[in-house]
Chain A
Amino acid sequence: MRGSGWSLRRRLTLTLIGGAAVLAILFYLVVRTYAQGIAQQSQDRILEASVTSLMDAAVVRGGQIELDLPYAAFSMLDTAADDRVFYAIHQGDVLLSGYEGLSSGPFAPMGEPRFATRGFAGGDVRVATLTHSLPASPRPVLLTVSVAQTRDSLSGTLLTISINAAVFGAVFFLLAAGMALWTSASTLRPLGQIAASVARRGPSDLRPVTRSVPTELSPLVTSFNALMTRLSHSLTQSETFIAEAAHRVRTPLATVRSHAEVTLMRVDKDENRQALRSMIRAIDESSRAAGQLLDHAMVTFRGDQLDKQDVDLVSICSDIVDRLTPVAEMMDLDLTISSDGPVPVQADPILVQNAVRNLVDNALKYSSAESVVHIHVSAQPGPSITVTDQGIGFPKDQIELLSQRFQRGDNARDTVGSGLGLTIAKDVAEAHGGRLELKNLEAGGACAVLYF
C-alpha cells in the first residue's frame, strides 16, 4: 500500500469546488448572455420606433419623397450615456439625406426593420433599417430609412449587470466552496474516527470494531473484523503451539542434563569432560530459552485477560530474592533488597513475579563475580521496582531495541540467553499500564526500572 498517493478528502473537495466553479462561471455567462439579449432587444425596440415614425412621416409628391422628420424620432433616442445618433434616408438607392455609408442598397421592401451591429464614425453602432414601397404614379417609390445609435448606454448597462453577475457568481462560489470543505470533512469524519480508534489500540488488542459505522464503510469494517478474528485466532494458535513445544522440550532436556551430569562424574579424560560441560551448558541454554518462551506465552495470554489483585510489590520481590539467593551464592554474587515499606498495587502477581524474576535473572547473568545485584521497591513518585547490577551495562546505542523480542546486546554474545527477558518485563509493565525503563548507571552497571 502506498501511503501518500492521493487523498479521498482532497479529491472530494476538489470535485465539489470544481463543480461549484463551473456552475458559477455558467451562471455568470448565462446571466450575461440573457442580459445582453434583453438590453439589445430594448435598444432595437426604440430604434424600430424611431425608424417607423420616420417612415410614417414620409409622403410622395410628384414622384419625390418629402419627409418631415418628427422631432420625437431622434429625441426618443436620448439615453443616459448620451449615445450618438446617425441616420440615412434613401429613395431607391440614392441618399436623400443623412449620413453617407450608414446603409447601402440595393434595398428591397420588408415588413419588419432589419437590425445589424457595425462600426461607423469611430464606434460600434446598432443600425435599424426599414424599406417600404410607397404608392405613387407612375410607379411606386422605394423609401429606405436607417437609424443608428452607438452602444455606450447598452455597454454601461451590460457592465453593471456583468459586475453584479460576477459578484453573485463569486459569492455563490465561495459559499459552495465552504460547503464543499465542510461536506468532505464531515463525510470522511467516520473514516478518520475508525482509523483513530484502531490506531489508539494496544499492540495486542485484536478485538473487532463494534462502533456503528456508515453503510458505505460497513463492508470494510466487516472485512477488517473478520481479519482481526482470523489473526487473533492464528496468534493464539501459534502462542499455544510455542508453549506446548517449549513444555515438551523442557522435560526431555532435564533428563538429558541429569544423564550428562552422571556421565561427567564417571569420565576422567579431560577432553571428554570438556565436551560434556559444553553439552550441559548448551542444554541449560536451551532449557532456559524454553522456560522464557513459556513465560512469554503466559505473559501474552494473561496480559489480554489481566487478573488484578491487591498485592504488595515488596513481598513479591522478597519471595524472588529468597528463591534466587542460592543461585546468586553459587555465582559469588550478593542479591539484596531494600524498600520504604510495603508498596500495595493492583496487579497480576504471577505476571509481576515473572517480570522481576527475568530482570534479576538478567542482572545475575551479566554480573561479574563478587558484585552486588540490588532490588529497590519504591512507592514514590509511583509504584516502581528498580533492579541494578554492577556489570557491563547496556550497549548505549541499542538501549531502545533491547526490549524487542529476541534482541540481545552486542556485549552479551558470551552469555547464555534467549533475548526474551526484557520483552517479558516490558509486556508485563505495559499490560498494567506502565512502562519499562532501561539505563546505565554512572558508576557502571545496568539499571532496569519497572513502573506500574
Chain B
Amino acid sequence: MRSLVLLVAMIWAPFVWAADLEDRQMFEGAAAETTLRVISSTDTDIFAPILEGFLAQRPDLRIDYAVAGSADIVTLIADCPDCYDIAISSAMDLQLKLANDGLARRLSGLEQTAGTQWRQTLFGFTLEPATIVLNRAAFAGRPVPETRQQLIEAVRADPAHFRGRLGTYDVRLSGLGYLFATQDARTSETYWRLMEVFGSLDARLYCCSGDMIDDLAKGDLFVAYNVLGSYASTRPETRDKVAIITPSDFATTMMRTALVLDATGEEAAATDLVAYLTQGAWADAAQPEYPLPSIGVSDPARLNVVSLEPGLLVYLDRLKRQIFLEAWTSALVR
C-alpha cells in the first residue's frame, strides 16, 4: 500500500503545489455517533442543503465537510489516503484517475444507469453544463450570443468595449477549468479561435467560479466563459444582473462525481451518502433554482456529456498536459 501511495504521489508530482483546505465545517446529525469525512470541491453553502437532507435520514451521522480545489483534493488524498472517507469533485478526470489508480473502493448495491458510474467506484450524481455567463448591462443594445462563433463575432465587433472584460478559468490552477478546456479543444477547433480572441483582449484568468461571478455582478467583467451557470443563478443579488447561456453549438457537460476512498473505515455510511447523492432525492426537496441539477432531472440528450472512460486519463498525462498548456498559454497569456 505504501508503495502505491508513493507511486500515486509521484504521478501527481506535476500537480503538487501548496494544497490547503479552503473551508471546513461540521454538520451534526441529531444523534451523531459516527463521523464521515468528506473532501469536496463544492462550496459548503451550496452543498449544505444536501448534507442536511441526508442527515435528516441518518441522524446517527456527523459530516466533517472539507472544501478544496479539485486539483488540491488529489494532492491531499495522495498525501493522506486515510484522512477522508468520501471525495466529491467536479473534475471528472482527476476523480477517474483516483479510481483507476486503485484509491477508490468498489461499492456494491448501488443501482446506476449506464455511463454514470465507472467500475462501481466512481458515481456521477449531477449533470452541469459549462456556460457562458454575460453581464446583462454590458450587452444592452447588442445581440446576445448563443454560440461560441457568435461570441467571437460580438467581441470582434467592438474590441475596445471588451478589452480586459473577458474572463475564464486559469486552467493551470483549476481542475474543472482544465477539464472543460480540454474537452472543448477535443470537440471543436472553435475553442482555440475563441481563446485567441480572449488572449488578444487581455482576458482575465480566475481560479474559481465564485470570483468570476462576483466580478460579473460588479460589472468588472462582461463575459465569463466555461463557468458553471448554476453558480451564478444561486445568488439572488447576481441573478438579475447576469444572463446564463448554454451554448447551442455544443455544451460541454460534466458530472459531479463521488467516490468512497479505499482506506475508509466507514464503508456502509459512506455508501449510504453516495446512494443518497445518486438517487437525486435532494433535487425534489430543493428550490427550483438549486444549483446542483440532479442527474435524473437533466436531459442529457442535448448536452455533450463528458463520458467516464479511460480517455480522461489522456489530458492528465504529463507530456499531453505540457503540450496543451503550451498551446493554451500561447493563445491566452501575452
Contact = CB atoms under 8 A, between A and B. Distances in A.
A82 to B, nearest CB: 4
Q: Which of A70, A73, A101 has the largest number of chain B CB atoms within 10 A?
A: A73
A96 B318 CA distance: 8
B243 to A, nearest CB: 32
Contact of B7 (A67, A69, A84, A101): A101
Contact of B314 (A69, A81, A83, A84): A69
Contacts of A77: 310
B161 interface: no
Given A72-B311, A75-B309, A121-B4, A98 B317 contact: yes
Contact of B100 (A66, A70, A84, A98): A84
B100 A69 contact: no
B314 A66 contact: no
B319 A96 contact: yes
A82 B118 contact: yes
Contacts, number: 72
Q: Which of B10, B99, B314 has the largest number of chain A CB atoms within 10 A?
A: B314
B24 interface: no
Given A66-B319, A71-B186, A121-B102, A100 B313 contact: no
Contact of B319 (A67, A82, A86): A67
Contacts of B11: 98-100
Contact of A84 (B4, B10, B119, B308): B119
B289 interface: no
A56 interface: no
Contact of B311 (A74, A84, A96): A74
Interface string B106-137: 00000000000011000000000000000000
B323 A68 contact: yes
A75 B314 CA distance: 9
A78 interface: yes
A85 B186 CA distance: 20
Contact of A66 (B309, B310, B323): B323
A143 to B, nearest CB: 11
Chain A interface size range = 20 to 34
Chain B interface size range = 20 to 34
Contacts of B102: 84, 121-123
Interface string B85-111: 000000000000001111000000000
Interface string B125-157: 000000000000000000000000000000000
A304 B187 CA distance: 109
Nearest to B309: A78
A74 B313 contact: yes
B62 to A, nearest CB: 31
A208 B110 CA distance: 81
Interface in B287-334: 308-315, 317-320, 323
A150 to B, nearest CB: 9
B184 to A, nearest CB: 13
A70 B323 CA distance: 12
Nearest to A78: B309
A85 B317 contact: no
B137 to A, nearest CB: 40
Nearest to B99: A84
Interface string B220-231: 000000000000
Contacts of A71: 186, 311, 314-315
A334 to B, nearest CB: 104
A75 B10 CA distance: 24
Interface string B1-24: 000100100110000000000000
Contacts of A121: 4, 7, 101-102
A99 B6 CA distance: 11
A97 B317 contact: yes
A72 B315 CA distance: 11
A89 interface: yes
Given A67-B319, A68-B320, A121-B101, A74 B7 contact: no
A87 B317 CA distance: 10
A85 B313 contact: yes
Interface string B32-62: 0000000000000000000000000000000
Interface of A: 66-75, 77-78, 81-87, 89, 96-101, 121-123, 152
Q: Which 8 residue pairs are nearest across A and B when measured between Cβ atoms?
A: A75-B311, A82-B119, A85-B310, A78-B309, A97-B318, A74-B310, A69-B320, A97-B319
Given A67-B319, A69-B320, 14 more contacts: A71-B311, A71-B315, A73-B314, A74-B310, A74-B311, A75-B314, A81-B119, A82-B308, A85-B100, A97-B318, A98-B11, A98-B317, A101-B7, A121-B7
